[in-house]
Amino acid sequence: MYIVILAGGSGTRFWPLSRKSTPKQLMSVFGGKSMLQRTVERVIPMRPKRVMVITNALQAAETRNQLAYIEGVPVDVIEEPVGRNTAPAIGLAASMIARFDPDGIMAVLPADHYIVDEETFRKTLDAARSVAEGGSLVTLGITPTRPETGYGYIEAASAGVGTPAAVLRFVEKPNVERALEFLATGRFYWNSGMFVWGACTILDQIASFMPELSAALAKLTFESEMWELSDLKPQIAEIYGDIKGESIDFGVMEKAQDVQVIPASFGWSDVGSWSALPEVMEADGDGHVVINAKGTVSVGSNGCLAYGNDKMVAFVGVQDLVVVDTPDAVLVCAKSAAQDVKKVVEELERLGKNELL
């Protein structure tokens, strides 16, 4: 299997840790290795044929730097000149794989998701590969554990743990009433944005539903030497001028006929904001989650997240806060307002404080 990692995101909801040149996937959000490094390491035991990391020009150097230590599996870092959402990136990777390995199966994984049970994750990917070898488009659907309104949902034709089911439809983020209805059926899953399919299968589907993208991808010519990315770079730059941005969900998945969902329960979060970390990380005796700090002291406090910049963090009489300390900025945020961190970034842009972006 080929692993295609989508690593071009530039989220603003992890400011001040994430910046334009070092977005969430390149940062040590959980302490230690970056999310991208964790994503790559997670698949290494599967012995993939290649790991293809698709990123943008601004982040390419740091991406290469972070992955230089990976051994045993070839890692390609592919630069997009501009971000064009997921469909062009996936089409580009599929074109490269199909050129050299027409039967190749590819797994598409976001670089910035958190997975608790990595062994179960790999088993799920293996199961998805078996289904994909039959010619289906396969998506990993996370068995919901709460009526989450921050995720899209997938409705399957039938319920069943671990067994693939036909996808009836993709549903946008629901309100809480609808989310509760979804959970009651047992046939709805969170849309994880993780896919498995044959490279030629997805290219056929792109040809059917996204003819402009297909035509642009068809212009790519490959040298006889395999995986020579330096030859590819100017070609990518040229075709990206014509490509319009589109997600693979909207461009293909919602229109294709043979889409299967593999129900997955490996503990998952898309880590959409600071408040997502306490959901997947273990809290200390005071209910605080503490990352990269030199210890904490808690007096009459609980439920906080501290990202410590290698410092002691002391809480006194506070609850449910997010505190992030970086060398040039400090964020103090109510957990319930974590989505509003992007408003800080907007304000910094308005103020022209580029050094903090």
- The whole-angstrom separation of Cα 272 and Cα 250 is 20
First vs last Cα of the chain: how many Å apart?
37
- Distance in Å, CB of 270 to a second copy, minimum: 20
| Cβ nearer to a second copy, comparing 82 with 332 | 332
| Cβ nearer to a second copy, comparing 72 with 285 | 285
- The whole-angstrom separation of Cα 221 and Cα 229 is 12
Based on the shown chain and the rule CB under 8 A, indicate whether residue 352 belongs to the binding site for a second copy.
no
| Cβ nearer to a second copy, comparing 168 with 283 | 283
Taking CB under 8 A as the criterion, the residue among 46, 70, 237, 329 binding a second copy is 329
- The whole-angstrom separation of Cα 195 and Cα 248 is 10
- Distance in Å, CB of 271 to a second copy, minimum: 18
- The whole-angstrom separation of Cα 304 and Cα 334 is 9
Q: What are phi and psi of 347, to 5 degrees?
A: -65, -40
Applying the rule CB under 8 A, the residues between 16 and 45 that interact with a second copy are 16
> Burial level of 215, CB count in 10 A (0-12/13-18/19+)?
middle
| Cβ nearer to a second copy, comparing 252 with 290 | 290
Both tokens of 277, joined, read: 């970390």
Applying the rule CB under 8 A, the residues between 88 and 107 that interact with a second copy are none
| Cβ nearer to a second copy, comparing 245 with 295 | 295
Instruction: Candidates 80-88, 100-108, 207-215, 306-314: pick the segment binding a second copy (CB under 8 A).
Output: 306-314
Taking CB under 8 A as the criterion, the residue among 243, 270, 353, 354 binding a second copy is 353
| Cβ nearer to a second copy, comparing 252 with 331 | 331
- How many residues bind a second copy (CB under 8 A)? The answer is 43
Based on the shown chain and the rule CB under 8 A, indicate whether residue 255 belongs to the binding site for a second copy.
no
Instruction: Candidates 70-78, 112-120, 168-176, 318-326: pick the segment binding a second copy (CB under 8 A).
Output: 318-326
- The whole-angstrom separation of Cα 222 and Cα 66 is 27
Does residue 253 sit in helix, strand or coil? helix
Based on the shown chain and the rule CB under 8 A, indicate whether residue 14 belongs to the binding site for a second copy.
no
Based on the shown chain and the rule CB under 8 A, indicate whether residue 150 belongs to the binding site for a second copy.
no
Based on the shown chain and the rule CB under 8 A, indicate whether residue 314 belongs to the binding site for a second copy.
yes
- Distance in Å, CB of 282 to a second copy, minimum: 21
Taking CB under 8 A as the criterion, the residue among 172, 317, 352, 354 binding a second copy is 317
Taking CB under 8 A as the criterion, the residue among 47, 72, 316, 354 binding a second copy is 316
Strands 188-198 and 153-156: what pairing?
Answer: antiparallel
Residue 140 CA: distances (Å) to CA of 7, 108, 146, 154, 222: 18, 10, 17, 10, 31
Applying the rule CB under 8 A, the residues between 260 and 299 that interact with a second copy are 294-295, 297, 299
Residue 224 CA: distances (Å) to CA of 4, 213, 216, 238, 247: 22, 24, 20, 20, 31
| Cβ nearer to a second copy, comparing 256 with 345 | 345
Q: Quick check: 262 and 159 in contact, CB under 8 A? A: no
Both tokens of 38, joined, read: 């964790």
Residue 341: CB atoms within 10 Å: 22
Based on the shown chain and the rule CB under 8 A, indicate whether residue 357 belongs to the binding site for a second copy.
no
Contact flags string 331-350 toward a second copy, x per CB under 8 A:
xxxx-xxx-xx-xx--xx--
- The whole-angstrom separation of Cα 11 and Cα 210 is 26
Residue 7 CA: distances (Å) to CA of 174, 236, 354: 27, 17, 23
- Distance in Å, CB of 323 to a second copy, minimum: 5
Residues near a second copy (CB under 8 A):
15-16, 294-295, 297, 299-300, 304, 306, 308-309, 311-318, 321, 323, 325-334, 336-338, 340-341, 343-344, 347-348, 351, 353, 356
